[in-house]
Amino acid sequence: MTGTFNRQVYDVVRRIPRGTVATYGQVAALAGRPRAARFVGFALHANPEPGVIPCHRVVFRDGSLAPGFAFGGPDEQRRLLEAEGVAFVPPDDGSENAGAGGWRVDLDRCQWRA
């Protein structure tokens, strides 16, 4: 089951257009398992084709980046997204990010509308 789910995740992530992002929950839903957002993260951590499967385009539900981004950490994930034109917004005062602290992707402008 895990192998099948991972392949479904990779198929969804390949479709995320350049310059946009999807959330872990959004990818899980599009892969047919809407309650499996955490497992999307596990699948992407094992990405067999970094650079081909654009896992950097997947972010937390609040737009924050994965602190454990497997291919260079959150700074590299942000660099890759900014190179594609993805916009960021400062964190809300007094609120915690779901992922890495600091700036978040502007989901209103950059979330993939699949």
Q: Catalytic positions, please? A: 55
CA dihedral sign of residues 33, 34, 38, 43: positive
| Residue in the block written with tokens 């699948």 | 43
E-strand ranges in the chain read 22-23, 58-59, 88-89, 104-105
Cα(108)–Cα(79) distance, rounded to whole angstroms? 20
